[in-house]
Chains A and B, each alone.
Chain A
Amino acid sequence: MSGLAGRQEALVRALVGGGGLPAGFDARLVGAAAKALLRKRSGEIVRAWPELAGSEAEIVRWAEGRPSLGSWRDGWEFAREHRESLGRDALTALVVCEVRWIHGGEPRRRRGPVVRRVPGGAVFGAFGRRVVLRR
């Protein structure tokens, strides 16, 4: 690994991976850049998961020190970890997502039939299709 590769990695780790500040950098300015990256990432997560709108500040706190898996998977992880406190639309979006995809590592499509409860109804999924039914 060349010096540059190692130094770039240390900087990215400090910015988004919870790593320490590499020697010689201005802590205030790198900290401001890290915060700006978190705000941008939070906005991208909400674009991928519009049902999480309003949770941006919470997402920023959650994302700190946690490297990104991409905005859609980040949103999924956030929603899973906040399942108990999600609003009705966000919880429905999470259940619909999990009817379609199997969580863990690279997401895989669920093939067999599945039924999950959502607030006020249920989601049925099979063969890549899904239907939300509400009372």
Chain B
Amino acid sequence: MTGVGIGWRPEIAAFVGALPGPAFTEVVAESLHHIDPALLPDVPVVPHGVKLSLGGAGEVDPARVRLLAEAAELVRAPLVSEHVAFVRAGGLEAGHLLPVPRSRESLDALTRNIRLTLAELDVPLAVEPIAALFDWPDDEFTEGEFLTELLDRTGARLLLDVANVYANARNRGRDPVAVLESFPLDRVAYVHVAGGAEHDGLYHDTHAHALPQEVLALVAETARRVPDHLGYLLERDGDYPPAADLVRELDAVADAASLPRIT
């Protein structure tokens, strides 16, 4: 996948459907069975799972893995993606993606769960490191080391979310470019781009606010470091702005990545 795309959501289906040239799109995997495939644009579709809990201490739920595999078949996906995160424990749903400790025990759990998932998939899997407001107290690896080891062990590819890189770096007082460079950039499958906002002194990766210049700068930094043209996907998940604003953001992503505009 090369070029710029946008995440398909029911609220912006008409906008996405009317775009003249998106390179690809992404659909929340858990919602795909409720969507009429005819509504999706005629471009590659990546099912993006949010509830598999690959980072959970227990084994992934086989029914959820099957659902992801079926979603991939339904849209003839070139690949699927999920997160380096857990979303439930002890029968409690967290309601969002939570960070895993960057420890050996956690690497073992993720490795087992990614392998169990890959065994059911006919297409590659890309895993996305998340934005997290807090860290576990006993991290043994940096994020770059942890991801490199995880991809080495499993053969999974990297879904690089530059907005997550920015959010994590900013909230920890680190240089986002240095964090970006520490990631295994030779294994990027595609890139996520999204907006966020500051709240009580912390930057929240909301997907519901405008795209900051700093995130666009990371798009450009990524394009410079990964010269094979990648796919860059804009994610928007609420407070949907007028179409003109989405067009401006998609154009800005294309320009930052030196890719053709899709609007």
Contact of A23 among B92, B133, B137, B202 (CB under 8 A): B137
Which residues 1-36 of A have a CB within 8 angstroms of B? 2-5, 7-9, 11-13, 15-17, 23-26, 29-30, 32-33, 36
Contact assessment for B95 and A68 in the assembled complex, using a CB-CB cutoff below 8 Å: yes
Q: CB-CB < 8 A to B204: which residues of A?
A: 36
Contact assessment for A17 and B92 in the assembled complex, using a CB-CB cutoff below 8 Å: yes
A41 within 8 A of B: yes
A37 within 8 A of B: yes
Which residues 101-123 of A have a CB within 8 angstroms of B? none
Q: CB-CB < 8 A to B153: which residues of A?
A: none
Contact assessment for B238 and A9 in the assembled complex, using a CB-CB cutoff below 8 Å: no
Which residues 4-29 of B have a CB within 8 angstroms of A? none
Contact assessment for B89 and A9 in the assembled complex, using a CB-CB cutoff below 8 Å: yes
Contact assessment for A32 and B94 in the assembled complex, using a CB-CB cutoff below 8 Å: no
Complex Cα spacing A14 to B134, Å: 13
Complex Cα spacing A30 to B238, Å: 24
B36 within 8 A of A: no
B56 within 8 A of A: yes
A40 within 8 A of B: yes
User: Which of B39-47, B62-70, B101-109, B173-181 lies at the binding interface?
Assistant: B101-109
Q: CB-CB < 8 A to B94: which residues of A?
A: 12, 15-16, 37
Q: CB-CB < 8 A to B132: which residues of A?
A: 33
Contact of A12 among B98, B138, B200 (CB under 8 A): B98
B166 within 8 A of A: no
Residue of B nearest to A3 (CB): B105
B86 within 8 A of A: yes
Number of interface residues of B (CB under 8 A): 30
A43 within 8 A of B: yes
Q: CB-CB < 8 A to B199: which residues of A?
A: 32, 36
Contact assessment for B86 and A8 in the assembled complex, using a CB-CB cutoff below 8 Å: yes
B58 within 8 A of A: yes
Contact of A33 among B93, B101, B109, B133 (CB under 8 A): B133
Smallest beta-carbon distance B54→chain A, Å: 13
Q: CB-CB < 8 A to B133: which residues of A?
A: 29-30, 32-33, 36
Residue of A nearest to B138 (CB): A24
Contact assessment for A4 and B134 in the assembled complex, using a CB-CB cutoff below 8 Å: no
Contact assessment for B98 and A11 in the assembled complex, using a CB-CB cutoff below 8 Å: yes
Which residues 87-142 of B have a CB within 8 angstroms of A? 88-90, 92-96, 98, 101, 103, 105-106, 109, 132-138
Contact assessment for A40 and B105 in the assembled complex, using a CB-CB cutoff below 8 Å: no
A67 within 8 A of B: yes
B57 within 8 A of A: yes
Contact of B58 among A5, A16, A70 (CB under 8 A): A5
A8, A9, A41, A70: most-surrounded residue (chain B CB, <10 A): A8
Take A4-B109, A30-B134 as given contacts and tell me if A40 and B101 are in contact as well, using a CB distance cutoff of 8 Å: no
Take A8-B86, A15-B98, A32-B202 as given contacts and tell me if A68 and B56 are in contact as well, using a CB distance cutoff of 8 Å: no
B→A interface (CB under 8 Å) = 56-58, 86, 88-90, 92-96, 98, 101, 103, 105-106, 109, 132-138, 199-200, 202, 204, 238
What are 15 A-B pairs with beta-carbon distances under 8 A?
A: A2-B105, A3-B105, A5-B57, A5-B90, A11-B89, A12-B88, A12-B90, A13-B90, A13-B92, A16-B94, A25-B136, A29-B202, A32-B200, A43-B238, A68-B93
